[in-house]
C-alpha cells in the first residue's frame, strides 16, 4: 500500500498571536463591543487630539429639538454628517464637531401647555410666566437622553459634552449682537404683514397652527358679485364685476386686479335684481357662469324675477388694456387717500372661479397687500384715538366704533351717515356672544344693502374651505399685524451671488429651490408673538419716536443703570458679570424699562425673534462671538466647509445661515451642503405615529446593528432622494455585504492562523506576484481612487456601491474563489505569502474605505488584522488604536493596470459562458472536457486571453483553448451596422443600410473583412462601407455547441474520452471523501485512511489518479476492499462511517473513513 506523505502541518516557529476567529457574524455584538471599546478608550477624543494642529475641516451641526423623540430619518441625516466628518478626519483634517440643541419655539410651548393642561390664556393667570418658562426649559430637554443614546449607538461622533444650547444667556447675547449689527446697518425696521389672526383668541397664528388637522373646514357663507362703476367710461352704466366670499371686506376695497393675459368681455345686460340696463365687464372664460348660451339671441328685454338674463357682447379686450382704469368707490365710508380705486395687474388672478376680476382689500389679504404695495395702492386705514393706523376691523373682530376713532380723522375722512349703520358690528357672527349662526350676518347685511343700491349682480350661499383657530374653533381672519423685519431684499443680489459659490448636493436644490427662493426674496419677518424664545432687544418710547437696540448684556446693564438713576427702575438685576445670575428671557426682560435721551420711558417691543434666527446664528453664537471670541478666532470656525440637513431645511436653516452670514459678515456660512431627502415607509408613504408605520430606530439598530442600517441607507439611494425604508433591505445588506466580507475574513484568518502569517515577511515585489494578485491589487487601487473621489465629491452612495461591488464580485467571487488552493495547499512559499499579503491588504484597505460608513464593523475588522500584524503603529510602536486614526490609503497608480482588469473581465465572461454551455448540455464541472475554441478577431484579443488562460482552464475544468483566426471559413458570421459611426455619415439612409448589412451573406462578409471595404446599392446610390462601420460577430461553428455574448463566441468540445471519464470519477471520489470528512467534523489538517468497496471502474481511476486523490483529501492509505471487510471493521470498532457513495452512475459503494 502506498503511503502518501503530505506536508500540511508546517513547523514554523512563530506561533504567537492568532487572528480572531468567529463562529458566526453578529453585527449587533460587534456594534456593542466596539462601542464599549470606544467609550473606555476615549477613541473619539483621541482622534481629535491626534489631529490637533492639522488643517481644520469645519462642520456645523444643525441643532435638533429634543422635545420630540428621534426617528429613523434622524439616523439618515446623522449618518450623512458622520460619514463626511470621518472621511475628512481620515484625510488628515482636524474635524471639531460640536453638538447643539434648538430649544426655543412653538412646539416647546405647545408641549408644555399640553403637559400642564393649560392654554396660552392661562399664562400669567393659572401659572406664572416664570413657571411657564421653567417648564419650557425642562420640556425642551425631555428626550435629550434618548437623543444622546441614539447618537452614540448609531456611531455618530459629535461632542455631546459641550453642546451649544440656544436658550443660554450667552447664546442669546450673540443674537442680540447680530440684531444690533443689522440695526446699525439700517436693515431692521418695523412694518406690518397680513397674518392669520384669531379674534376669538386675540392672537396671531402661525402657518403651522393653521396646518393642524381639522383647521380647514367647509363652511357655508354668503358670497356676492359686486358691481364697481367705471369712471369716465364711453358707456354710461358700465361696471366691473368682482366676486368675494367675504363681503365684509368690500368697504375696505381700494383696487381691482386683473390678469394681464386674460381675455375680458364687455357685456350689455341687466341688473338681475333691479332690471336696470347695464354694461358689465368680466373674464371671457367665465361668461358661462353668469349667462346661458341661448340668452345671447333673446330680445334685450328683462323684468325683475325673469329666469333668463339676455345679453350681448359688445367688445373684448385683454387684461392689460384695463390696467389704470378708475372706478367709483363701492362703499364710500372712508377716504383711503390717493392712488386708490383703479385696476391693477395681479399674477395670481385666475379664471377658475369668480369673475376674473379680483377685489383687493390690502388690509385683509396677503396677496392683496403685496400687489397693492407694488402698485402704489394705499390700504384702507382708520386712525384710532391713540393715533395709530388701523384696519376697519379691530382685534375683537368688529368694525371700529366711531367713539374709538380719532375725532379729527372722523371729521375729515369718515362718512358718518353711512358708516354709523355698521360701526361696532362683528364681521363674523361667531365673534359676537349675542349672535348665533341663525342671525343675519354682516356679510348678508352688506350684500342686501348693495342690492338695494343696484350694485349687487349675484348673491348666493356657497360652501368653501376656510381656516379656523384650533383653540377656539372659530374662524380666523387675515389681519395686518405689527412686525419687525430684516431688510433681506436690500442685499438680495449679494445673497444670490454668494449662493453661486456654494456647492449644493444635489445641485438642483441650490439653483432651483434655493435659487428661486432668493430670486423672489421678501423681507424676513422676525417677529413672533410668543413667550418662549429670544426677546427682541428693542426698547421704544410710547409714541415710537425714540428707540434703542441693545446689543450686549453690558449695554443693557449700563442702560438700566441710567434708568435706575432716573427712578424708572428700582434695581439693576443685570448688574452682575455672572451669566447665571440673570435671565434674558421673558418675563424678566419685560420688566426692564429704559430711559430715552429725552428722559422718557422706553418699553421693550414685546415680540420674540423667529426661532430660525436662533439656528441661523449658530456659527457665531456657539462660540459666543464677539464676547468670548475674537474675529481671528471666529475665522477658525467660520464659514463651515460642510453642513448637511434635510431638504426641508432649504428655506429654514440653510436660508437663515446664509442670510445672517451675508448680511452681517458678507460671507457664505457654508461651502458645501448636502440636503438629504425624506425617509418614507416601504410603500413610499410618509412615516407618522398616526399611521403606525413609523420605524423605531433603536429597534433596527438593536436587531441589525448600526453598520448595516447606515450602509443600507447610504447605498440604497442617493441621500437627496427619498428613501423607501424597507427593513428587509437592511437584512440584505447584512447578508450580502457584511456576510461576504466576514466570510472572506474568516477564510483568511483560518489559514493565516494555520500558517502563522502575521505579515512579518517583506512585501513580495509586485512584479513577482502572480497575475491574479496583481489583478486584485489593480482593482483595489482603482477602487481606492474611485471611493476617495466619491467621498470628496459628497457622493457616499457611489462610494458604498463601489465598495460593495468590489467585495462581492471581485474579492469574494473571483479572487478568493480562484485562490482557495493557494492558501491551503503546499509549502509556505513565496506564492503563498504573496496570496496572504494580497488578501490581507485588500481586507485592511477595505476596512479603511468603509470606515466612514460602517464605523463599527470597519473598526473590528481593522483591529483584528492590525493587532496581529502591527502594520499601523502608534508612537510607542504598539498597534494603533483605531482605523479612524489612520489616513485613507492613496491610490498607487503604478499598480493600476487597465489591460489586466480588462482581460480578467474577459476571463470571467468566458468562464461564465463555458459554465452556461456545460449547463445547457448537462455536463457537470467535475467532468473534465478537452477543449474550447474561441474565434479571435485580433492579436490583442489572443494576447489578452492567453495571459488568463490558466485561470479559465482550471475554473471551468477544460484542458485547452484553441483560437480560430477570423479568416477561418468554418465560422458562420453575422454583420451588423455600427450605428454610431454610420449614423452621422448617412442620416436618413441608416435604416436601409442596416437592413442591407443584416442580410449580408458569408461571401460579402468575407469580402469586407479582406478588403476592408465594400460597396452596396442603397436607393440607386453606391455607398462604400468601411470595415470600421460594421460589427462582425461569429454566430455559429457548425458541429459544435456554441454561445455568443457581445463580440465573444465560445465553442465547446463535448466529447468525453475514456481518460476524461476516469478523471471525472477521481474528482467525484475526492468530492465524496471531502464531504464525509466534513460530516464527521474532521479537522482540515487530519489525515485519514479510506477503504472503499471494490469496483473495477473505480480501480482504474484510482490507479491512474492515486496521487491526486490522496493529496486532495489528506489520505494516508486508500484501499479497495471487499464490502464484507468494511462491515467487519465497522463491527469491531465503534466508529461511524458513511455507508455508501455513488461516484459512478447507478452504482452504490460502501466506504469507510477514519482518522489516522
What grid cell was written down for 812? 469574494
Q: Is 768 in the site for RNA (CB under 7 A)?
A: no
Mark residues 654-693: x for contact with RNA by CB under 7 A, - for none.
------------------------x---x-xxx-------
Residues pairing with 1052 in the sheet:
932, 1041
Candidates 182, 287, 358, 1069: give the one binding RNA (CB under 7 A).
Answer: 358
Q: By CB under 7 A, what part of segment 500-519 binds RNA?
A: 506, 508-509, 512-513, 516
Among 101, 266, 504, 612, the active-site one is: 612
Q: How far apart are CA 143 and CA 111, in angstroms?
A: 12
Part in contact with RNA (CB under 7 A); list of ranges 38-46, 304-312, 442-450, 1078-1086: 1078-1086
Among 82, 102, 681, 788, the active-site one is: 102
Strand 1140-1144 with 524-525, pairing = unpaired
Mark residues 827-866: x for contact with RNA by CB under 7 A, - for none.
----------------------------------------
Q: Is 732 in the site for RNA (CB under 7 A)?
A: yes
Is the backbone peptide bond immediately before 587 cis, with ω within 30 degrees of 0?
yes
Task: Give least dist CB 500 to RNA, A.
Answer: 16
Neighbours of 685 (CB within 10 A): 11
Residues pairing with 224 in the sheet:
244, 459
Q: Between residues 684 and 826, which has the closer beta carbon with respect to RNA?
A: 684
> How buried is 595 (Cβ within 10 angstroms: 0-12 exposed, 13-18 middle, 19+ buried)?
buried
Candidates 743, 830, 870, 930: give the one binding RNA (CB under 7 A).
Answer: 743
Q: Is 496 in the site for RNA (CB under 7 A)?
A: no
Candidates 174, 222, 744, 866: give the one binding RNA (CB under 7 A).
Answer: 744
Q: By CB under 7 A, what part of segment 776-815 binds RNA?
A: 797, 812-813
Q: Can you tell me which residue has the cell 380666523? A: 476
For 718, what's the count of Cα atoms within 13 Å in the CB-facing half-sphere?
13
Identify the DSSP state of 1020. Answer: T
Do residues 703 and 712 touch, judged by C-beta distance below 8 A? no
Helix H or strand E encompassing 134: helix 129-140
Identify the DSSP state of 591. Answer: G
Q: Is 352 in the site for RNA (CB under 7 A)?
A: yes
What grid cell was written down for 957? 475544468
Q: Between residues 399 and 742, which has the closer beta carbon with respect to RNA?
A: 742
Candidates 157, 290, 478, 862: give the one binding RNA (CB under 7 A).
Answer: 478
Part in contact with RNA (CB under 7 A); list of ranges 345-353, 526-534, 542-550, 964-972: 345-353
Neighbours of 997 (CB within 10 A): 24
Task: Enumerate helices (H) and strands (E) in the chain, giving the number of each.
Answer: 39, 40
Part in contact with RNA (CB under 7 A); list of ranges 116-124, 543-551, 720-728, 877-885: 720-728
Candidates 722, 753, 830, 870: give the one binding RNA (CB under 7 A).
Answer: 722
Candidates 122, 306, 321, 353: give the one binding RNA (CB under 7 A).
Answer: 353
Q: Can you tell me which residue has the cell 348666493? A: 460
Task: Give least dist CB 1026 to RNA, A.
Answer: 16
Helix H or strand E encompassing 714: helix 697-716
With CB under 7 A, what is the number of residues at the site for RNA?
A: 104
The verdict on whether 38 is a catalytic residue reads no
Candidates 114, 185, 388, 1078: give the one binding RNA (CB under 7 A).
Answer: 1078
Candidates 627, 824, 885, 963: give the one binding RNA (CB under 7 A).
Answer: 824
Part in contact with RNA (CB under 7 A); list of ranges 582-590, 866-874, 1099-1107, 1110-1118: 1110-1118
Q: How far apart are CA 770 and CA 833, in angstroms?
A: 11
Do residues 182 and 664 touch, judged by C-beta distance below 8 A? yes
Task: Give least dist CB 985 to RNA, A.
Answer: 9
Part in contact with RNA (CB under 7 A); list of ranges 172-180, 207-215, 409-417, 775-783: 207-215
Q: How far apart are CA 407 and CA 414, in angstroms?
A: 10
Q: By CB under 7 A, what part of segment 899-958 binds RNA?
A: 912, 915-916, 919-920, 924-926
- What are the φ and ψ backbone dihedral angles of 347, each rounded to 5 degrees? -70, -15
Q: What is the DSSP string of 1074-1129?
A: HHHHHHTT--TT--EEEEEE--HHHHHHHHHHHHHHHHHHTEEEEEEE-HHHHHHH
Candidates 990, 1006, 1007, 1121: give the one binding RNA (CB under 7 A).
Answer: 990
Alpha-helical runs (H) found in 487-581? 492-499, 507-508, 515-519, 553-566
The verdict on whether 653 is a catalytic residue reads yes
Candidates 10, 12, 114, 464: give the one binding RNA (CB under 7 A).
Answer: 464
Helix H or strand E encompassing 73: helix 72-90
The verdict on whether 649 is a catalytic residue reads yes
Nearest by Cα to 1059 from 953, 931, 960, 929 = 929
Q: Between residues 24 and 570, which has the closer beta carbon with respect to RNA?
A: 24
Strand 538-541 with 159-165, pairing = unpaired
The verdict on whether 814 is a catalytic residue reads no
Q: Is 726 in the site for RNA (CB under 7 A)?
A: yes
What grid cell was written down for 48? 481629535
Q: By CB under 7 A, what part of segment 42-101 binds RNA?
A: none
Task: Give least dist CB 723 to RNA, A.
Answer: 6
Q: Between residues 286 and 945, which has the closer beta carbon with respect to RNA?
A: 286
Candidates 500, 630, 636, 979: give the one binding RNA (CB under 7 A).
Answer: 979
Nearest by Cα to 709 from 98, 35, 78 = 78
Among 38, 63, 390, 707, the active-site one is: 63
Helix, strand, or coil (residue 336): coil
Task: Give least dist CB 1135 to RNA, A.
Answer: 16
The verdict on whether 462 is a catalytic residue reads no
Candidates 5, 24, 767, 999: give the one binding RNA (CB under 7 A).
Answer: 24
Q: Is 41 in the site for RNA (CB under 7 A)?
A: no
Q: Is 245 in the site for RNA (CB under 7 A)?
A: yes
Q: Between residues 237 and 245, which has the closer beta carbon with respect to RNA?
A: 245
Candidates 411, 898, 980, 1022: give the one binding RNA (CB under 7 A).
Answer: 980
Q: How far apart are CA 872 and CA 885, in angstroms?
A: 10
Helix, strand, or coil (residue 170): helix
Task: Give least dist CB 750 to RNA, A.
Answer: 7
For 430, what's the count of Cα atoms within 13 Å in the CB-facing half-sphere?
15
Among 686, 919, 985, 1136, the active-site one is: 686
Q: Is 817 in the site for RNA (CB under 7 A)?
A: yes
Q: Between residues 924 and 1136, which has the closer beta carbon with respect to RNA?
A: 924
696 Rama sector, left if φ>0, alpha if ψ -120 to 50, beta otherwise = beta
Part in contact with RNA (CB under 7 A); list of ranges 305-313, 575-583, 760-768, 976-984: 976-984
Candidates 69, 1044, 1095, 1119: give the one binding RNA (CB under 7 A).
Answer: 1044
The verdict on whether 636 is a catalytic residue reads no
Q: How far apart are CA 250 and CA 447, in angstroms?
A: 10
Q: By CB under 7 A, what part of segment 639-658 binds RNA?
A: 647-648, 650-652
Part in contact with RNA (CB under 7 A); list of ranges 298-306, 372-380, 863-871, 1107-1115: 1107-1115
Part in contact with RNA (CB under 7 A); list of ranges 326-334, 886-894, 975-983, 1094-1102: 975-983
- What are the φ and ψ backbone dihedral angles of 711, each rounded to 5 degrees? -65, -40
Residues pairing with 1144 in the sheet:
1147
Q: By CB under 7 A, what part of segment 169-198 binds RNA?
A: 194
The verdict on whether 775 is a catalytic residue reads no
Identify the DSSP state of 115. Answer: H
Alpha-helical runs (H) found in 520-653? 553-566, 611-616, 618-621, 631-634
Q: What is the DSSP string of 653-674?
A: IIHHHHHHHHHHHSS-SEEEEE
Q: Is 7 in the site for RNA (CB under 7 A)?
A: no
The residues annotated as belonging to the active site are 63, 102, 612, 649, 653, 686, 689
Amino acid at each position: 500500500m502506498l503511503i502518501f506523505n503530505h506536508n500540511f502541518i508546517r513547523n514554523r516557529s512563530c506561533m504567537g498571536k492568532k487572528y480572531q476567529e468567529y463562529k458566526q457574524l453578529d453585527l449587533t455584538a460587534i456594534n456593542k463591543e466596539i462601542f464599549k471599546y470606544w467609550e473606555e478608550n476615549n477613541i473619539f477624543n483621541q482622534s481629535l487630539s491626534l489631529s490637533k494642529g492639522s488643517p481644520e475641516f469645519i462642520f456645523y451641526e444643525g441643532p435638533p429639538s429634543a422635545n420630540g423623540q428621534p426617528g429613523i430619518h434622524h439616523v439618515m441625516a446623522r449618518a450623512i454628517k458622520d460619514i463626511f466628518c470621518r472621511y475628512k478626519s481620515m484625510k488628515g483634517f482636524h474635524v471639531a464637531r460640536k453638538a447643539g440643541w434648538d430649544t426655543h419655539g412653538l412646539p416647546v410651548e405647545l408641549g408644555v401647555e399640553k403637559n400642564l393642561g393649560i392654554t396660552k390664556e392661562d399664562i400669567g393667570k393659572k401659572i406664572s410666566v416664570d413657571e411657564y418658562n421653567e417648564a419650557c426649559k425642562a420640556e425642551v430637554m425631555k428626550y435629550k437622553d434618548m437623543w444622546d443614546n441614539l447618537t452614540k449607538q448609531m456611531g455618530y461622533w459629535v461632542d455631546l459634552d459641550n453642546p451649544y444650547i440656544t436658550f443660554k444667556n450667552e447664546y442669546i447675547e450673540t443674537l442680540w449682537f447680530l440684531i444690533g449689527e443689522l440695526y446699525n446697518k439700517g436693515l431692521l425696521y418695523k412694518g406690518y404683514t397680513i397674518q392669520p389672526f384669531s379674534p376669538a383668541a386675540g392672537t396671531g397664528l402661525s402657518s403651522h397652527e393653521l396646518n393642524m388637522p381639522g383647521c380647514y373646514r367647509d363652511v357655508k357663507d354668503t358670497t356676492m358679485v359686486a358691481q364697481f362703476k367705471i369712471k369716465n367710461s364711453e358707456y354710461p352704466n358700465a361696471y366691473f364685476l368682482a366676486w368675494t366670499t367675504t363681503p365684509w371686506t368690500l368697504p375696505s376695497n381700494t383696487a381691482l386686479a386683473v390678469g394681464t393675459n386674460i381675455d375680458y368681455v364687455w357685456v350689455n345686460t341687466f341688473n338681475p335684481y333691479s332690471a336696470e340696463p347695464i354694461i358689465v365687464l368680466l373674464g371671457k372664460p367665465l361668461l358661462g357662469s353668469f349667462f346661458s348660451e341661448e340668452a345671447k339671441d333673446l330680445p334685450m328685454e328683462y323684468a325683475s324675477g325673469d329666469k333668463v338674463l339676455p345679453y350681448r357682447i359688445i367688445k373684448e379686450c385683454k387684461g392689460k388694456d384695463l390696467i389704470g382704469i378708475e372706478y367709483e368707490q363701492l362703499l364710500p365710508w372712508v377716504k383711503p387717500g390717493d392712488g386708490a380705486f383703479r385696476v391693477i395687474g395681479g399674477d395670481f388672478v385666475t379664471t377658475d372661479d369668480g369673475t376674473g376680476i379680483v377685489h383687493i382689500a390690502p388690509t385683509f389679504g396677503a396677496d392683496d397687500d403685496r400687489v397693492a404695495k407694488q402698485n402704489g395702492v394705499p390700504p384702507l386705514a382708520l386712525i384710532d384715538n391713540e393715533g395709530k393706523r388701523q384696519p376697519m376691523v379691530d382685534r375683537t373682530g368688529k368694525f371700529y366704533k366711531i367713539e374709538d376713532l380719532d375725532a379729527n380723522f372722523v371729521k375729515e375722512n369718515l362718512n358718518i351717515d353711512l358708516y354709523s349703520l355698521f360701526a361696532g358690528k362683528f364681521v363674523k357672527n361667531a365673534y359676537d356672544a349675542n349672535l348665533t349662526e341663525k342671525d343675519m350676518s354682516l356679510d348678508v347685511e352688506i350684500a342686501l344693502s348693495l342690492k338695494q343700491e343696484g350694485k349687487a349682480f349675484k348673491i348666493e350661499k356657497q360652501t368653501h374651505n376656510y381656516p379656523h383657530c384650533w383653540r377656539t374653533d372659530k374662524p380666523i381672519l387675515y389681519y395686518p399685524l405689527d412686525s419687525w423685519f430684516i431688510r433681506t431684499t436690500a442685499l438680495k443680489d449679494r445673497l444670490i451671488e454668494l449662493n453661486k459659490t456654494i456647492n449644493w448636493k444635489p445641485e438642483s436644490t441650490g439653483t432651483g429651490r434655493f435659487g428661486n427662493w432668493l430670486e423672489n426674496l421678501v423681507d424676513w419677518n422676525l417677529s413672533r408673538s410668543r413667550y418662549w424664545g429670544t426677546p427682541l432687544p428693542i426698547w421704544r418710547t410710547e409714541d415710537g419716536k425714540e428707540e434703542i437696540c441693545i446689543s450686549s448684556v453690558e449695554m443693557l446693564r449700563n442702560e438700566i443703570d441710567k434708568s435706575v438713576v432716573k427712578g424708572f427702575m428700582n434695581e439693576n438685576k443685570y448688574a452682575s458679570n455672572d451669566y447665571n445670575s440673570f435671565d434674558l428671557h421673558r418675563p424678566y426682560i419685560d420688566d426692564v424699562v429704559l430711559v430715552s435721551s429725552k428722559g422718557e420711558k422706553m418699553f421693550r417691543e414685546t415680540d420674540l425673534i423667529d426661532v430660525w434666527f436662533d439656528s441661523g446664528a449658530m456659527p457665531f453664537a456657539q462660540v459666543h462671538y464677539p464676547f468670548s471670541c475674537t474675529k481671528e478666532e471666529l475665522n477658525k470656525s467660520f464659514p463651515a466647509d460642510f453642513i448637511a440637513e434635510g431638504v426641508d431645511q432649504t428655506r429654514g436653516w440653510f436660508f437663515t445661515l446664509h442670510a445672517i452670514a451675508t448680511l452681517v459678515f458678507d460671507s457664505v456660512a457654508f461651502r458645501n451642503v448636502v440636503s438629504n431627502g425624506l425617509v418614507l415607509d416601504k410603500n413610499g408613504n410618509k412615516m407618522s405615529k398616526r399611521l403606525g408605520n413609523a420605524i423605531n430606530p433603536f429597534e433596527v439598530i438593536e436587531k441589525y446593528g448600526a453598520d448595516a442600517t447606515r450602509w443600507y441607507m447610504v447605498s440604497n439611494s442617493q441621500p437627496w432622494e427619498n428613501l423607501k425604508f424597507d427593513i428587509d433591505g437592511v437584512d440584505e445588506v447584512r447578508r450580502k455585504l457584511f456576510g461576504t466580507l466576514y466570510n472572506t475574513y474568516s477564510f483568511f484568518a483560518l489559514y493565516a492562523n494555520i500558517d502563522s502569517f502575521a505579515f512579518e515577511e517583506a512585501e513580495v515585489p509586485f512584479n513577482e506576484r502572480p497575475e491574479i494578485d496583481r489583478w486584485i491589487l489593480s482593482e483595489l487601487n482603482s477602487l481606492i481612487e474611485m471611493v476617495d473621489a466619491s467621498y470628496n465629491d459628497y457622493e457616499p452612495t457611489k462610494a458604498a456601491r463601489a465598495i460593495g461591488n468590489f467585495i462581492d464580485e471581485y474579492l469574494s467571487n473571483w479572487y478568493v474563489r480562484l485562490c482557495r488552493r493557494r492558501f491551503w495547499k503546499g509549502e509556505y512559499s513565496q506564492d503563498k505569502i504573496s496570496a496572504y499579503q494580497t488578501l490581507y491588504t485588500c481586507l485592511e484597505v477595505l476596512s479603511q474605505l468603509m470606515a466612514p460608513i460602517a464605523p463599527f464593523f470597519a473598526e473590528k475588522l481593522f483591529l483584528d488584522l492590525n493587532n496581529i500584524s502591527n502594520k499601523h503603529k502608534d508612537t510607542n510602536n504598539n498597534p494603533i488604536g483605531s482605523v479612524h486614526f489612520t489616513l485613507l490609503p492613496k491610490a498607487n497608480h503604478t499598480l493600476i493596470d487597465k489591460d489586466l482588469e480588462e482581460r480578467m473581465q474577459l476571463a470571467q465572461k468566458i468562464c461564465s459562458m463555458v459554465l452556461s454551455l456545460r449547463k445547457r448540455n448537462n455536463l457537470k464541472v467535475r467532468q473534465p472536457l478537452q477543449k474550447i475554441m474561441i474565434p479571435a478577431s485580433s492579436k490583442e484579443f489572443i494576447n489578452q486571453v492567453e495571459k488568463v488562460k490558466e485561470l479559465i482552464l482550471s475554473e471551468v475544468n477544460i484542458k485547452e483553448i484553441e483560437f480560430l483566426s477570423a479568416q477561418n471559413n468554418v465560422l458562420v458570421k453575422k454583420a451588423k451596422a455600427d450605428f454610431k459611426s454610420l449614423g452621422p455619415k448617412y442620416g436618413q439612409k441608416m435604416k436601409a443600410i442596416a437592413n442591407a448589412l443584416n442580410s449580408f451573406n458569408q461571401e460579402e462578409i468575407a469580402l469586407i473583412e479582406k478588403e476592408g471595404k465594400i460597396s452596396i446599392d442603397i436607393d440607386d446610390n453606391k455607398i462604400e462601407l468601411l470595415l470600421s462601420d460594421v460589427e462582425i460577430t461569429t454566430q455559429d461553428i457548425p458541429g459544435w455547441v456554441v454561445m455568443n455574448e457581445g463580440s465573444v463566441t465560445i465553442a465547446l468540445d463535448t466529447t468525453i474520452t475514456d481518460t476524461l471519464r476516469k478523471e471525472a470519477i477521481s474528482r467525484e471520489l475526492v468530492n465524496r471523501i471531502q464531504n464525509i470528512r466534513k460530516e464527521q467534523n474532521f479537522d482540515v489538517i487530519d489525515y485519514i485512511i479510506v477503504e472503499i468497496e471494490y469496483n473495477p471502474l473505480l480501480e482504474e481511476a484510482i490507479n491512474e489518479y492515486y496521487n491526486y486523490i490522496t493529496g486532495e483529501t489528506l489520505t494516508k492509505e486508500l484501499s479497495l476492499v471487499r464490502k464484507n471487510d468494511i462491515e467487519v471493521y465497522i463491527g469491531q470498532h465503534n466508529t461511524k462511517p458513511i455507508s455508501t457513495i455513488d461516484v459512478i452512475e447507478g452504482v452504490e459503494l460502501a466506504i469507510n473513513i477514519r482518522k489516522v
